Each structure stands twice: as structure tokens, then as C-alpha cells.
């Protein structure tokens, strides 16, 4: 009977002969270097390399990296699959028994058994016999992908739990059920569970108690975790991907209290029940939640002394949610591309918070949000609409908001940041009526907001419900900016404000202004002049136009803008007639705008 070792390489006999005829540069390398090269090769590549020479054949059989891959899901008939099944098992047995007799060490054993046909199911006993031999050879890494009976499940033999050399374990049961024994992985440092079903409510606690040296834990495509509580003192990295946390009779709990944990990543997970997440990890530095879904009322409390970066990206909150962050070392927090169907309350307590980014977030329609059950607890954050984003950050210094939802103006955004110094805001307008007016520390503001809806005529645009609903909100927004010293703003919110207001908002501290005109500059000159009347200490004005504007070269431009020509000079006009710079004459800027306003 033909050896499976040779059958795996038959398809590349011609390539092998060509390789054998050329100069063999690998032959001069030490064995340990060649073994290291083998660690990057697949099973079939290693088999082909063994046909190059007798030395390489011996090196392949004695390599500390053994990879066995079998695919029984191809379209061959059953008799052929039976032969392949028997040959493969015999070959693996032969290699491992030979390794056991010689006593040679084993760094990694990889067995990937792709099979969906029950008659060719490898079975737990066969896998365990190979694993047992590997532990006797002092294996350091186990990488197992097998299909087991979902009713019987699978568990490792006792020798795996007692193996002092084992450092890394990766297990993929193709959604089969896995359970721990009473013993623990005392020396294991890296555990990766992929495509397994866990039916143990105390799964997280068992890992914490039994894996005393575990540094990294990866849960990928794991199902059946109804409660996850981790208290490991050695764990440094935790990654949870594509996991489903099902509904349960009691509220689901996700408690991570690992004193050495530094990185926590949750991606593409589903939390269907009422979940309470508590993170109390004093060494945690980076926390990322991305592309996940939270089906019911969601509360997350983060109390991590060393946390520096918090990211919540691409997630869907189908009910009300609370993010309570108490991290004194937090430097930057970002919430981006998320969808909210109810109120989102974000409270950040950090003495080091330098920046908060809220970008590309959207609101689900009321119909979508109403099909889910009401939360058991109400979020009490004061009077106001039940569907809004509320942010509180006492020490926040920089805020970056980017809104892309054309209907976000229907939902208010509340911000309480008394120490805010820098504000960037772009995209669609939101309901600014609930913005805190106490931004007394604001120094710099860069604003470019404009609705994405378009109208065929200017008249229809003025009658738009979208624009009318924002007149009051625009006034509130401009009042929040009134303490700024530098302001870059497009003219759309200014036009909205003066649709029903005659008196300008006074910016007492504003010295530098950059205006970005939307549309025709000639049509906006009266609006700009009205806005400039509220800037008594203006020292520099820059106007940038989207279109070519011949009015910028008008020698009477300063007077057209309502400024005093004796107090301001036209210091530069762009050659493309799209920008102009106007600066105050030194020593005469004070009250020049006020005097111009009186003359008007």
C-alpha cells in the first residue's frame, strides 16, 4: 500500500525533481536552523521537502514541529475516503510512536481533521492517543481542529492537564461541546478556544482557578456562555470574538477582575440578554469594543486605574445603554460608527482625559427601537427626551464630533464639559438645544455643520422642516461658542440663526475668525456683516469661498462687511479669488466693530 507521506507529495513530483537538480543551499545549514524554517511550513510542504534528499527526509521525520492536515470533505467516493482515513491514521500513529521510542522532543503538534461525514469522524479516543504521545515527548504547543459528536462532547485526557511542558493550546471543535476536567492547566500560558460550545456556567471562574500561569486567553466563535466571570491574577490579554451570549432567566453578568490584564478586545459579539458588564482591572491599558450588538438594556461600569485608551466602534445598541467610566489615567475615548435606538448615557471621570471623539453615529427609527422589550430599569439623567446621547466629562479638554446621520437633528445631544478647550464639529447638525452653555474654558472651535438634504430652490430650502427646527438649536450652539478666542465656522449655522434673529450673539474674547462660505459669497455678505457686529475684539478675519468671488477684490469690501476701514486693512486676496485676509490695525482693533455697528 502506498504511503500517505508519498501520496501527499505526488502532485508536486516534477517540482521536486527540478529542486533536486539545482544547488541545495539548505544542506549547509545547521539542523536547528532548518527546524526553525519547518515551523513556518504547512504539512504538505514539509512532506514534499522530505523527498529532496535523505538528509531532509530524516530531518522531516525528526522535526520538533509536526503538522498533520487531512480533508475528508472533498467529493471523493466513500471507498476512497475510507482508504485515506485508514492511511492517514496509520501514518500519524507511526510517526508519533517512532518519536516516542527515540525520545526526541516535540515543540508543536498540529492536527487539523476536516470532516463532516460521521462515518469518518476521527473520534475523541483517536485524538487522545496522539495527544498522549505528544505529552510524553514534552510538547509545548498543541493545535487541534477536529469534529466530534455534539452529544458526547470532548475533553482532554488527564495527561494534558498534568503536562508541565505545555505552554500553548488551541482547540477547534467545529462547534462541538467542550468541558474541563477537575484538573487544571497549571503551566499553560496561551489558551485559544475556537468554534466550541460551552455549557458550563462557571466556565470563566474555572479557567481563573485552574490556569494559574495563563497570560493570554482567546475566545473565538464560542457559544453557550451564560455568565462570564474572570478573576485571574496572571491573565494579561483577553480577546473575545464572534461569541454569542444567549438569553437567560436571570440577568447576564460579564465580570472581569484581573489585576494583570492589560488588553481587552470584544469584537463581533452578541449580547442578547440584559447584560451588566463590570470591568475592574487595575493594569488595563487598552479597551476596544467593536462590531458588537447589545440587544437589551446594557450597563457597563469600567473602573480601571491604568486605562489609557477606550474605543467603542461599529456597535449596535438596541435599547438604552449606560457607559460609566471611572479611570483616572484615561487619555482618549472614542465612540464611532455606532447605532443607538434609545438614550445613551456616557459619564467619564478621568483627571487625564485629553480627547473624546464621537463620530459617524446614527439613531435607529422609533419603529425599530420599539420592537424590543422595555428596559427593566430607567436611566434617570434629568428631564428631556428619552432618546438622546448624554455625555459628562468634567476634565475633558478636547472634543471631536462627526455626525453623518441626515435625521440626527431629531435627537438631542447633551454635553457637560466645563474644562473643554478645543472643539471640532463636522457633518450633519444635531439638536443643539440641550448643549451645556457653560463652556467657559473654550479656546478653539472648528465648526463645519450642514445638512445633507438638498432642495431644488432656495425657497424650498427655507421652508424645510429640517432647517426650521434648527433655528433655536443654532442659537444655543452659537452661545456655547461665545467664549472661544479662535473660531473657524461655515456660514450655514450663522444663516440659520439670522433667519429669526436680528441681534447678533456677542463673542467678547474672539480674536481670530475663519469663515467658510457655503454657496454665493455675494448673497451672504449681509449675514456675515450682522455676525461681525458681535465681535468687539476681532483682530484677524479670513474668508474662504467655495466659488470664485469677485467681491473679494472690491476695494470697498471692508465697509461692505460693516467694518471700519480705518481700523482694518485688507492684507491679502488669493489669486484664485477664493480667499481673503483682513487684519486689524495695531492698537485700533478695540471697539472698531462696535463703532461700525453704531454707524449702521
pLDDT digits (tens, 9 = 90+) for 542-553: 999 988 999 998
pLDDT digits (tens, 9 = 90+) for 468-477: 556 777 778 8
Give pTM, 2 decimals.
0.78
pLDDT < 70 regions, the chain:
1-28, 35, 38-39, 41-51, 57, 72-77, 116-124, 149-151, 182, 247-251, 274, 364-387, 404-411, 433-438, 453-470, 587-600
pLDDT at residue 45 in the model: 67
Rounded Cα distance between 222 and 174, Å, is: 10
pLDDT at residue 195 in the model: 92
Using the Cα atoms of residue 148, residue 151, residue 157 and residue 162 in order, give the sign of their dihedral: positive
For residues 482-495, one letter each, b for 16 or more C-beta atoms within 10 angstroms of the residue's C-beta and e for the rest, the string is bbbbbbbbbbbbbb
pLDDT at residue 237 in the model: 97
β-pairing, 355-363 vs 339-340, is parallel
pLDDT at residue 142 in the model: 95
3-class DSSP string for 310-363: EEEECCEECCCEEEEEECCCCCEEEEECCEECCCEEEEEECCCCCEEEEEEEEE
β-pairing, 293-294 vs 244-245, is unpaired
Using the Cα atoms of residue 391, residue 376, residue 256 and residue 141 in order, give the sign of their dihedral: negative
- Give backbone dihedrals phi and psi of 558, rounded to 5 degrees, phi first: -60, -40
- Give backbone dihedrals phi and psi of 35, rounded to 5 degrees, phi first: -60, -40
The grid coordinates of residue 398 equal 478636547
Rounded Cα distance between 185 and 166, Å, is: 8
Rounded Cα distance between 211 and 586, Å, is: 72
Angle between helices 31-38 and 54-62 (to 10 degrees): 70
pLDDT at residue 265 in the model: 96
Q: Give whole-number Cα distances, 519 to 192, 225, 448, in Å.
A: 57, 56, 14
pLDDT at residue 215 in the model: 96
Rounded Cα distance between 416 and 382, Å, is: 13
With CA atoms as reference, report the closest residue to 307 among 324, 332, 342, 273: 332
Amino acid at each position: 500500500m502506498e504511503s500517505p507521506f508519498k501520496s501527499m507529495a505526488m502532485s508536486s513530483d516534477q517540482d521536486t525533481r527540478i529542486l533536486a537538480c539545482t544547488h541545495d543551499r539548505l544542506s549547509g545549514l545547521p539542523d536547528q536552523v532548518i527546524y526553525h524554517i519547518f515551523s513556518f511550513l504547512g504539512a504538505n510542504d514539509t512532506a514534499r521537502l522530505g523527498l529532496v534528499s535523505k538528509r531532509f527526509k530524516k530531518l522531516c521525520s525528526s522535526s520538533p514541529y509536526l503538522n498533520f492536515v487531512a480533508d475528508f470533505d472533498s467529493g471523493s467516493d466513500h471507498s476512497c475516503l475510507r482508504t485515506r482515513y485508514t492511511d492517514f491514521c496509520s501514518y500519524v500513529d507511526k510517526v508519533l510512536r517512532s518519536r516516542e521510542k527515540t525520545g526526541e522532543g516535540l515543540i508543536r503538534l498540529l492536527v487539523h481533521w476536516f470532516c463532516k461525514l460521521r462515518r469518518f469522524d476521527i473520534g475523541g479516543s483517536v485524538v487522545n492517543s496522539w495527544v498522549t504521545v505528544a505529552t510524553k515527548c514534552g510538547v509545548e504547543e498543541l493545535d487541534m481542529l477536529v469534529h466530534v459528536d455534539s452529544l458526547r462532547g470532548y475533553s482532554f485526557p488527564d495527561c494534558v492537564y498534568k503536562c508541565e511542558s505545555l505552554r500553548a493550546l488551541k482547540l477547534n471543535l467545529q462547534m462541538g461541546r467542550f468541558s474541563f476536567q477537575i484538573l487544571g492547566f497549571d503551566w499553560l500560558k496561551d489558551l485559544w478556544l475556537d468554534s466550541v460550545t460551552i455549557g458550563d456556567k462557571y466556565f470563566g471562574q474555572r479557567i481563573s482557578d485552574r490556569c494559574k500561569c495563563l497570560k493570554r486567553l482567546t475566545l473565538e466563535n464560542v457559544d453557550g456562555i451564560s455568565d462570564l466571570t474572570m478573576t485571574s491574577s496572571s491573565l494579561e490579554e483577553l480577546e473575545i470574538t464572534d461569541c454569542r451570549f444567549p438569553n437567560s432567566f436571570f440577568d447576564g453578568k460579564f465580570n472581569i477582575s484581573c489585576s494583570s490584564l492589560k488588553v481587552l478586545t470584544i469584537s463581533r459579539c452578541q449580547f442578547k440578554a440584559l447584560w451588566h458588564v463590570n470591568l475592574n482591572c487595575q493594569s488595563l491599558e487598552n479597551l476596544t469594543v467593536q462590531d458588537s450588538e447589545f440587544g437589551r438594556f446594557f450597563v457597563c461600569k469600567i473602573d480601571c486605574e491604568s486605562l489609557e485608551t477606550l474605543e467603542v466602534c461599529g456597535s449596535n445598541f438596541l435599547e438604552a445603554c449606560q457607559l460609566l467610566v471611572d479611570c483616572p489615567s484615561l487619555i482618549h475615548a472614542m465612540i464611532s460608527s455606532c447605532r443607538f435606538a434609545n438614550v445613551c448615557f456616557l459619564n467619564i471621570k478621568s483627571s487625564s482625559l485629553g480627547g473624546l471623539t464621537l463620530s459617524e453615529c446614527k439613531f435607529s427609527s422609533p419603529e425599530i427601537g420599539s420592537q424590543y422589550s422595555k428596559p427593566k430599569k430607567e436611566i434617570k439623567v434629568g428631564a428631556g427626551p428619552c432618546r438622546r446621547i448624554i455625555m459628562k466629562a468634567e476634565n475633558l479638554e478636547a472634543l471631536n464630533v462627526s455626525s453623518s446621520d441626515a435625521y440626527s437633528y431629531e435627537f438631542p445631544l447633551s454635553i457637560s464639559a466645563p474644562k473643554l478647550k478645543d472643539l471640532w464639529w463636522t457633518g450633519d447638525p444635531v439638536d443643539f438645544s440641550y448643549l451645556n452653555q457653560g463652556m467657559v474654558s473654550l479656546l478653539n472651535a472648528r465648526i463645519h455643520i450642514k445638512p445633507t438634504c438638498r432642495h431644488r430652490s432656495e425657497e424650498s430650502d427655507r421652508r424645510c422642516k429640517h432647517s426650521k427646527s434648527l433655528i433655536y438649536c443654532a442659537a444655543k450652539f452659537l452661545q456655547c461658542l461665545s467664549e472661544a478666542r479662535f473660531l473657524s465656522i461655515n456660514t450655514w449655522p450663522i444663516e440659520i440663526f439670522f433667519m429669526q434673529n436680528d441681534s447678533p450673539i456677542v463673542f467678547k474674547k474672539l480674536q481670530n475668525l475663519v469663515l467658510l462660505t457655503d454657496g454665493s459669497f455675494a448673497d451672504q455678505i449681509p449675514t456675515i456683516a450682522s455676525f461681525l457686529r458681535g465681535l468687539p475684539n476681532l483682530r484677524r478675519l479670513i474668508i474662504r469661498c467655495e466659488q470664485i468671488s469677485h467681491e473679494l477684490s472690491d476695494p470697498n469690501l471692508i465697509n461692505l462687511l460693516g467694518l471700519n476701514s480705518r481700523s482694518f486693512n485688507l492684507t491679502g486676496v488669493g489669486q484664485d479669488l477664493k480667499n481673503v485676509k483682513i487684519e486689524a490695525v495695531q492698537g485700533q482693533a478695540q471697539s472698531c466693530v462696535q463703532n461700525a455697528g453704531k454707524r449702521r
